[in-house]
Amino acid sequence: MISLQPAKNGYLNSLPHLIWLLLLTSPVIGQTKFVANYDENKIPAYELPAILTMQDGTPVSTAQQWREKRRPELMDLFAKQVYGRSPEACPIQSKVISTTDAIQGKALRREVDVTFGGKSDSVTMRLLIYTPKDAKASPAFLTLNFQGNHSIDPDPSISLNSNWMRNRSGITENNLSSEKSRGVAASRWPVELIIDHGFALVTIYYGDIDPDFDDQFKNGVHSALRSEASSIPNEEKWGSIAGWSYGLSRAMDYLQQDNQIDGNRVAVFGHSRLGKTSLWAGASDERFKLVISNNSGCGGAALSRRAIGETIWRINTSFPHWFCDNYPLYNENERDCPVDQHQLIALIAPRAVYVASATEDRWADPKGEFLSALQADEVYRLLGTDGMGGSAPPEKMPQADQAIRSGTIGYHLRTGKHDVTTYDWEQYIAFAKRHL
C-alpha cells in the first residue's frame, strides 16, 4: 500500500484530489503500481541533458551565446514542455487598504490590494507588507503563503481572507478562514528577525491568484486572462505554477512603484510547491535579484531523472493542474524530457539563487536538489560569477546544517522535516545581505 506521507506535508489540496489519492492507494492503477523509491542503488540509469549545448548539438562557450541563443531556447522548452506558456504582462491597479505600526513599533505594516486581469473577471491579490520603520527604500523578500496573510501573525488587525481556503484534511471549501486560523503558520515567518536585519517582507496568499485545485481553470488568473491566453496551443497553456509565478511578477510591478521598497533589490522566496513557483518566477522575470527555493522537490530544484521520492508521474497524477498538458508525456519517461531541473536553476544566472533541503524530506530528494545546484555552477562561472564559491564547485554534498553560501549559488541541508524554520531564514538573510 502506498504511503500517505505527502498528505502530512499538505500535498493534498482538494476533495477531488483526496478521492483520487484514495484511488491511488489501490495496488494497481491503469496497470501501474506506484511505490516511491528512496534507494540510491535503484535509480534508473540516466544522462542529464547538457546545459551548454544547443538542441542541435552546437556547443555554447561564451556568455553572449548563452544570453542570445541557449537561454532563450531553454526558456522556450520549459514553457512548452513543463510549466506552460503564460500571457503577456497585463496592467495592474493598486489600493492601500490599511496602514499601521507593527512589531513593537519597529515596522510599518500595510495591506495593499493589487488587481489585474479582465475588466469583468479580474483578480485581486492582497499584499501584506512589513517594512522597517523610517527606512527610505528597503530590500525585500517577496513570497506566497499557503494559509492566508492572517496566518503568518496572530495580530487581529490583519484582515481575514474570504477566498478559497484549504483545511488541514486537504478538503477545499470557501470562507474557511476564521479567528482560530490567525497566526497558525507564524513559526514559518520570523517577521521581527527579517525586519531587524533591514529587510521588508511582502507576502500574498497564493489562493488569491489561483485556487489550488483542478477544475479546468474556471477560476482565478486563468479564467481572468482566458482571452489573453487564447492563442496559446492547449497543450502549452500555463498551469497553476505558472499562474502563481505570473502573480508574483504583477506584485513586482507594484513593488517597483512603492517608495518604501527598493524594487531593484527583491528576492523571491517559496516553500514546497511555492518553491517550484519561485524558481519559475525567477527564471521568467529577471527583475528578481535573488531566488530562493525551500524544499521544492520534483518540478522544482530536484533532478527529475533520478526518480526518487515524488516522480513526474506521481506529481502529474496528484496535481494535474500544476503543469502544462505536455508534461504528462514524461510520466515514467523522464529520460525523454528535453530539460531537467539543473537547467532551470541555470536560467537564473548570473543572479543569485539559493536551494535548501531537509534531511527527513526524502519525498523532495535532497541529493537531487543539491546536484541541480551543482550542475548549474558551470553556467554561473561562464557568466563571470563564482558559482557555488571557491575556485571550483564542491566535490560532495555538504553535511547537515553546514550551509554553502560564499558564492552566487547557495545551498544547505537542514536537519528536520519538510518545513520552513528559523535556521532556514537565518541562511537566507545572510545570503541576501551579500547579494541584495
Cis, bond preceding 350 (omega within 30 deg of 0)? yes
Per-residue pLDDT of the chain (436 residues; tens, 9 = 90+): 223 233 333 333 333 343 334 444 333 344 456 789 999 999 989 999 999 999 999 999 999 999 999 999 999 999 999 999 999 999 999 999 999 999 999 999 999 999 998 777 799 999 999 999 989 999 999 999 999 999 999 999 999 998 888 765 443 455 556 788 899 999 999 999 999 999 999 999 999 999 999 999 999 999 999 999 999 999 999 999 999 999 999 999 999 999 999 999 999 999 999 999 999 999 999 999 999 999 999 999 999 999 999 999 999 999 999 999 999 999 999 999 999 999 999 999 999 999 999 999 999 999 999 999 999 999 999 999 999 999 999 999 999 999 999 999 999 999 999 999 999 999 999 999 999 9
Q: From CA 83, how far away is CA 138, in angstroms rounded?
A: 32
417 contacts 358 by C-beta, under 8 angstroms: yes
pTM over 0.85: yes
Amino acid at 355: V
Helices 273-284 & 71-78, crossing angle to 10 degrees? 140
341 contacts 306 by C-beta, under 8 angstroms: no
Query: Taking the mean position of all CA atoms in its chain, how far away is CA 226?
Result: 23
Q: From CA 347, how far away is CA 282, in angstroms rounded?
A: 8
- C-alpha distances out from residue 114 to 137, 255, 269, Å: 20, 10, 19
- C-alpha distances out from residue 267 to 12, 131, 139, 200, 423, Å: 28, 14, 8, 10, 18
317 three-state secondary structure: helix
Question: Known catalytic residues?
Answer: 272, 418
63 contacts 52 by C-beta, under 8 angstroms: no
- C-alpha distances out from residue 356 to 81, 201, 292, Å: 25, 19, 8
407 contacts 388 by C-beta, under 8 angstroms: yes
Helix or strand (DSSP H, E) at 333 = none
Q: List domains and CATH numbers for the chain.
A: 83-435 (3.40.50.1820)
